C-alpha cells in the first residue's frame, strides 16, 4: 500500500511567485492534514480536511494560502504570492478516522524555499 505522497519534494521560487504543493493521501483516508515547519521552529498545524470539507483551518497563516481537496482525494496547497517567511517544510498527513487515538501517517514533506 502506498503511503502519503507529496509533490514536489523541493521547490525554489522567487518572492511574489505562486507555488502549488500537492498531497496524495493513503487511499481510503477521509482525513487529510497540512502542517508546516519553519526553520528552527515547531511543526505547526495548518488545516484539516474531512473528505472535501475543511474541518479546521485555524492554523492557516493568512489569505495568501489556499488549500483545496476537490473530490475528497488529493489536496493542493497554493501560496500566492509567496513571501520569504513562507519558506519551510510543508508536511501532509492522512488518517482513516479523526478520533484522538488515530494514527496520522505523514508524507516526506515539500521543502519550499522563497528567495
Partner 1 sequence: AQSVTQPDIHITVSEGASLELRCNYSYGATPYLFWYVQSPGQGLQLLLKYFSGDTLVQGIKGFEAEFKRSQSSFNLRKPSVHWSDAAEYFCAVHSGAGSYQLTFGKGTKLSVIP
Question: Hey, which residues between 45 and 64 contact partner 1 (CB under 8 A)?
Answer: 45, 48, 55-56, 58-59
SS3 for 72? Answer: helix
What gap in Å lies between CA 32 and CA 49, rounded to an integer? Answer: 5
What gap in Å lies between CA 32 and CA 25, rounded to an integer? Answer: 7
Taking CB under 8 A as the binding criterion, the range among 11-19, 61-69, 71-79, 100-108 that sits at the site for partner 1 is 100-108
Q: Looking at the DSSP assignment, which residues form a beta bridge with residue 98?
A: none
Residue 21 makes contact with partner 1 by CB under 8 A: no
- Residues near partner 1 (CB under 8 A) are 3-4, 31, 33, 35, 40-45, 48, 55-56, 58-59, 91, 93, 98, 100-101, 103-109
Amino acid at each position: 500500500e502506498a503511503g502519503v505522497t507529496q509533490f514536489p519534494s523541493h521547490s525554489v521560487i522567487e518572492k511574489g511567485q505562486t507555488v502549488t504543493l500537492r498531497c496524495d493521501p493513503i487511499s481510503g483516508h477521509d482525513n487529510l492534514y497540512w502542517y508546516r515547519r519553519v526553520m528552527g521552529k515547531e511543526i505547526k498545524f495548518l488545516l484539516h480536511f474531512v473528505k472535501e470539507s475543511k474541518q479546521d483551518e485555524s492554523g492557516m497563516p493568512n489569505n495568501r494560502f489556499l488549500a483545496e481537496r476537490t473530490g475528497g482525494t488529493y489536496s493542493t496547497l497554493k501560496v500566492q504570492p509567496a513571501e520569504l517567511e513562507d519558506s519551510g517544510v510543508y508536511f501532509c498527513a492522512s488518517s482513516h478516522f479523526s478520533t484522538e487515538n488515530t494514527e496520522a501517517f505523514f508524507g516526506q514533506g515539500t521543502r519550499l524555499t522563497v528567495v
